[in-house]
């Protein structure tokens, strides 16, 4: 690299391509080639001196490569397609382990098979994709330029993602609206049940209060009615008692008057009986006294005269008492 054309030793030939070392280092650093080629280029740069690295690497594809392949083991007589077919029948873990052994196993393990499918091809594709993602991350590190990602596939993926997100958003909105309607219906139902429950409790409480108030009012009215009835009954009783007392007093007064009349009549009858007895049986002293006074015998012994003398006040009584005089 110190004394050649364009800053590196160049070799010319019909079957060789002159490549400078700096370009090979850039290719290795860029990571655009497969891993086994980058490892082979790195080993060639480290082992070769003034020779052209590209010629060294490409020259091995001729007779020297065949010699190295022939001396590498029982698989030396197989070509790349046969080796890839053999690798397809091996377990994936063993193939990946063989890749780390040496350069030649890495080369035939990384070869594409006749059919690009299977676990090994899938792992190789993942490895290559991962390497390209690392390279893209290195290129976009420290910048906000996203133009490197602008491809037709990315646009298609973005459009598919956008349409999928829109459909998912519509489904989510529809589901959310359904959930909101269901929640609103549940809330309305629970509110209605709560309202009915509260209304029932209020009605029961109001009914209890009304019953209590009605019972108290009934008791008050009953007590007032009883008091008024008691007053009316007592007034009527007192009035009847007073009337009865007055009637009894009137009867008693009538009886007293009648008793007085009977007593007067009895006294009068007693007096008359005594007077009549005296008239019918005059005493001797009265006869002698009348004779001494000068009355005649007819006067003394005449019942009529004697009655007139004995009862001079009988002529002054009213006519209603004539019955007694007649008796």
What whole-number distance in Å separates Cα of residue 50 and Cα of residue 56? 11
On whether the CB atoms of residues 279 and 306 are closer than 8 A, the answer is yes
DSSP H helices in the chain? 21-30, 35-47, 53-59, 63-70, 80-89, 92-99, 103-109, 119-139, 152-280, 284-293, 297-301, 303-310, 322-326
Pick the closest to residue 32 from 103, 138, 104, 108 (CA basis): 138
What whole-number distance in Å separates Cα of residue 305 and Cα of residue 300? 7
Q: What is the pLDDT of residue 187?
A: 93
Domain boundaries, the chain: 5-145, 282-327
What whole-number distance in Å separates Cα of residue 196 and Cα of residue 190? 10
Q: What is the pLDDT of residue 35?
A: 65
On whether the CB atoms of residues 24 and 54 are closer than 8 A, the answer is yes
The 10s digit of each residue's pLDDT in 226-256 is: 898 889 888 888 888 888 888 888 888 888 8
Listed in order, strand segments (DSSP E) in the chain are: none
Q: Could you tell me the pTM of the whole model? A: 0.30
The 10s digit of each residue's pLDDT in 155-193 is: 787 888 899 999 999 999 999 999 999 999 999 999 999
List the end-to-end C-alpha distance of the chain, in Å, as a whole number. Answer: 204
On whether the CB atoms of residues 6 and 20 are closer than 8 A, the answer is yes
- 47: its two tokens: 């082992």
């Amino acid at each position: 690299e110190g004394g050649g054309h364009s800053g590196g030793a160049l070799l010319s030939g019909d079957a060789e391509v002159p490549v400078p070392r700096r370009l090979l280092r850039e290719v290795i650093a860029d990571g655009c080639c497969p891993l086994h080629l980058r490892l082979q280029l790195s080993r060639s740069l480290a082992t070769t001196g003034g020779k052209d690295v590209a010629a060294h690497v490409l020259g091995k594809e001729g007779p020297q490569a065949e010699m190295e392949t022939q001396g590498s083991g029982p698989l030396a007589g197989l070509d790349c397609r046969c080796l890839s077919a053999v690798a397809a029948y091996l377990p994936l873990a063993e193939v990946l382990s063989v890749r780390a052994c040496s350069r030649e196993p890495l080369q035939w393990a990384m070869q594409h098979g006749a059919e690009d499918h299977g676990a090994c091809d899938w792992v190789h594709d993942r490895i290559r994709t991962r390497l390209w993602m690392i390279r893209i991350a290195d290129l976009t590190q420290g910048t906000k330029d996203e133009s490197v990602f602008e491809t037709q596939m990315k646009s298609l993926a973005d459009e598919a993602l956008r349409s999928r997100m829109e459909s998912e958003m519509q489904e989510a909105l529809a589901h959310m609206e359904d959930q909101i309607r269901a929640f609103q219906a549940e809330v309305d139902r629970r509110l209605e049940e709560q309202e009915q429950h509260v209304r029932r409790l209020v009605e029961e409480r109001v009914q209890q209060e009304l019953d209590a108030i009605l019972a108290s009012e009934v008791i008050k009215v009953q007590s007032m009615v009883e008091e008024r009835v008691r007053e009316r009954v007592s007034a009527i009783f007192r009035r009847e008692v007073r009337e009865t007392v007055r009637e009894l007093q009137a009867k008693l007064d009538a009886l007293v008057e009648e008793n007085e009349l009977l007593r007067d009549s009895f006294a009068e009858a007693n007096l008359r009986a005594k007077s009549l007895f005296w008239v019918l049986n005059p005493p001797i002293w009265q006869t002698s006294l009348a004779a001494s006074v000068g009355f005649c015998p007819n006067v003394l012994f005449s019942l009529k005269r004697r009655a007139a003398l004995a009862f001079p006040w009988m002529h002054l009584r009213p006519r209603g008492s004539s019955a007694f005089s007649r008796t």
